[in-house]
Amino acid sequence: MTRPSRRSWSASRRAARTRGPIEIDSSHVPMLSHPEAVERVIVDAARARAADATRATDESSTELAATGAGTAAAAGTAAALVAAGAGLVAVARRRRTRAHRSAG
């Protein structure tokens, strides 16, 4: 169980919106003893998150359109770097395996 003060501190660092503590008179596994209440909390949170995402998309769509070409180029470069890194890891593993086989 996380202390309420710790949860509040963590939420404030993420700029999260909180409804305050949700208390259910339950055992330490409310998902089993009160599934309806837990479901309600999850659904409410998902709906709030979806509304936030829709609002953010509407507000930033023109900003994203202005950065389209640069963003695509950066994504392509990032993908190439990830692929190159994965290739280097594969080569290093093969060499290490060969070294272990020849030593043993």
Q: Read off the pLDDT of residues 18-74 as tens digits, 9 standing for 90 and up.
A: 666 677 788 788 888 888 888 888 888 888 878 877 776 666 555 555 555 566 667
According to the model, what pLDDT value does residue 22 have?
74
According to the model, what pLDDT value does residue 62 have?
57
According to the model, what pLDDT value does residue 32 have?
84
pLDDT, greater one: 82 or 58: 82
Task: Write the burial class of residue 30 (CB in 10 Å: 0-12 exposed, 13-18 middle, 19+ buried).
Answer: middle
- Written as six digits, the tokens of 60 are 């930033």
CB under 8 Å to 21, separation ≥6 — which residues?
4, 7
Provide the terminal-to-terminal Cα distance of the chain, rounded to the nearest Å.
50
pTM (predicted TM-score): 0.40
